[in-house]
Structure 1
Amino acid sequence: MRTARAPLATAATTITAAAAALAAIVGLTGCGGASQAADPAQPAARHFEGLPFVGVLFADGEHHCTASVVDSPKGNMLVTAAHCVHFQDDEGEDDGKDSADGEEPGPITGDLQFAPRFSGAGEGTFPYGKWKVSGIHVPKAWRDEDGDRGDYAFLTVEPDARGRSVQEVVGAATPDFSSGPRRHVTVVGYPNEAYNPDNNPITCTTDTERDEDEPYMMQMRCGGFYDGTSGGPWLADHHDAGRPGRLIGVLSGGDTDAESTAVLFDGQARELYERVAGGAAKSS
């Protein structure tokens, strides 16, 4: 992200320690941008019914980011943005993603849950329940603070009470680790309640291009991707829930709500995915 995004509008006095920690990460690193005047020539996101395998990532009951189920042998993997779930070291150059409030570098602590196809005002509805996150895995580039190059994370979740994997219940998108930056994509995300009181998912289908400032990233221009949409999937050749297309990255930032970026999945992303799919340690 070239600039930090607006902080989440959540009162620190009303959330638990883990949720506050996550809000600090998101506020510093971005989950959507500030609003700007609408450009009639630029597409804008629209509300829709959602996709079963895309939902909200909660920390101790607070909505902060978006996540999705990624196809895996065990059916237990999600993908989101690294800045949603992992603090970077606060030493060295300030790049807008440093840890805050004395938090130690590493995965956030607390109760993390994934709610596929969440929607509804207030407490909302959970058509596929909540799935407990059991592991957080970020790439070496993120742990080494190599800018935004590693701003994605693979998570594992526990089975439900009936022993089913999340993928068995809601499906998944297949990852693509060899895509180029110029694609026709569908992006899905959940703006936070300040911009989206009914907690409806939004979507936009448009073309991407390489980010000139950060060539390992791709960017799109589509209005409406405010705080809360970070981690949302970028799906190439998407048709519908039964034909989701190929997952080539997740939303990681952008200068405004109308300019969003994603780290293009590459060989390092493949290595991390394969290690987690093969049964990596709880968090890394």
Structure 2
Amino acid sequence: MDSQGILEIFGKEIISGSPREENIWTKRCYAFPTSSKPMSKRAKMEPMIKTYDIPSEERTSNTTDFFVDDINNINSVGLLEIVKTDGSIDGCTASVIRTNNGNIAITAAHCIFDYYLQTWNTNLYFFPGYNNNVPGRVGKVYAYKSFIWGDFRQDATRFDYGFIKLYYPEGRKLQDDTGAFDYDLVIPQGNVPTTVFGYPHDNSGGFVNCSKDGQHLCQWQGDSFDFPSTLPNYEWYRGINVDVGYGSSGGPWLRNYDPNTNAGNVMGISHGILYEPYPDTSTASWAWHQDDFTTLLEYAENSQ
């Protein structure tokens, strides 16, 4: 992986409600920030909030019609399409979490805020249940607001998670139509059986038995683990022994995942590969603190 990690993939066949064919998917910091270096000092916690402009015609047409044939099994995980400031398109992974608001998704902060350009991305579009080049039952959902911790702006390895408040019309709750994951406020320690989802592209990463073209939802199962105490700031992260690939950033790490009900607890999200001395074969997740997580989530739920 080079220092910029630039990669392009063209979209596939046009399907109503799916990412546009003419979009060029560029991998820059959205698969992961290319190898990130931990810091040893925690900065003051300040939230950052982005509001997106949703044209009136999109507000009236957004997700009001369900797709008749819902062939996708997991609608609480979805493809996150990112429009950058220059108009180019990138991709990440996001998932719906269970909240009182009902319209909240979690993803990586670097999918929301461009660390290298130090600016917000222009727009986010969420396709819950997207798989096999086919949208899920609700099609495309527009982001209304995003929330990250300002600490991420100083170092891409820190607090690399954020929440997206999604626009869902007529007072409905997205989670009622897609399902939602619960989440862990206290991250478990030791080896924990974990299921990880993502949309890798360019045949990148270590997912097996899955087309890694950015159009298919891939799954990995194994143990997540604590990093050795000899590593700097080891307690800030958890790891899995797989490179999840470009485009899987923000994908959920699920504890107690039940494939029959698609229920589980989000205990992390895919960040990327950390700098040496961290192993270059392990994807990391930020191990959030309970107070930090709930405070940022409250900002998201209570915002107007």
Q: Distance in 1 between matches of 2:100 and 2:109?
A: 22
CA distance in 2, matches of 1:248, 1:220: 12
Give the aligned length. 237
The equivalent residue for 1:220 is: 240
Aligned-partner Cα distance in 1 for 2:139–2:270? 24
Q: Which runs of 5+ in 1 are unaligned?
A: 32-48, 89-98
Q: Which amino acid aligns with 2:248?
A: T
Instruction: Tell me the residue number matched to 2:176.
Output: 168
- TM value normalised by structure 2: 0.68
Q: Deviations over 1:35-81 (max 9, x none)?
A: xxxxxxxxxxxxxx652100100124945100000111110100000
In the superposition, the TM-score normalised over structure 1's length comes to 0.73
C-alpha distance 106-168 of structure 1, shift in aligned 2 (>3 A)? same
Residue 151 of structure 2 corresponds to residue 132 of structure 1 = no
Deviations 1:216-242 (A, max 9, x none): 00001135x110000000111111363
Pairing 1:77–2:104 present? yes
Q: Which of 114, 121, 126 is matched with 1:108 structurally?
A: 121
- Tell me which residue corresponds to 1:209: 225
Corresponding residue for residue 177 of structure 1: 185
Amino acid at match of 1:206: G
SS of alignment partner, residue 261 of structure 1: strand
Q: CA deviation at 1:140?
A: 3.2
Q: SS in structure 1 opposite 2:270?
A: strand
Partner-residue secondary structure (3-state), 2:272: strand
Offset at residue 29 of structure 1 (A): 0.9
Alpha-carbon offset, residue 265 of structure 1: 2.5
**Deviation of 1:169 (Å):** 0.7
Residue 9 of structure 1 corresponds to 8
What's the C-alpha RMSD, in Å, of the aligned pairs?
3.1
| Greater relative CO (CA pairs within 8 A, separation 6+) | 1
Larger-Rg structure: 2
**Equivalents in 2 of 1:120, 1:245: separation in Å?**
23
State the secondary structure of the residue aligned to 1:275: helix
Verify: 1:261 aligned to 2:284, yes or no: yes
For 2:301, the equivalent position in structure 1 comes to 277
Contact 2:32/2:271 (<8 A) preserved? no
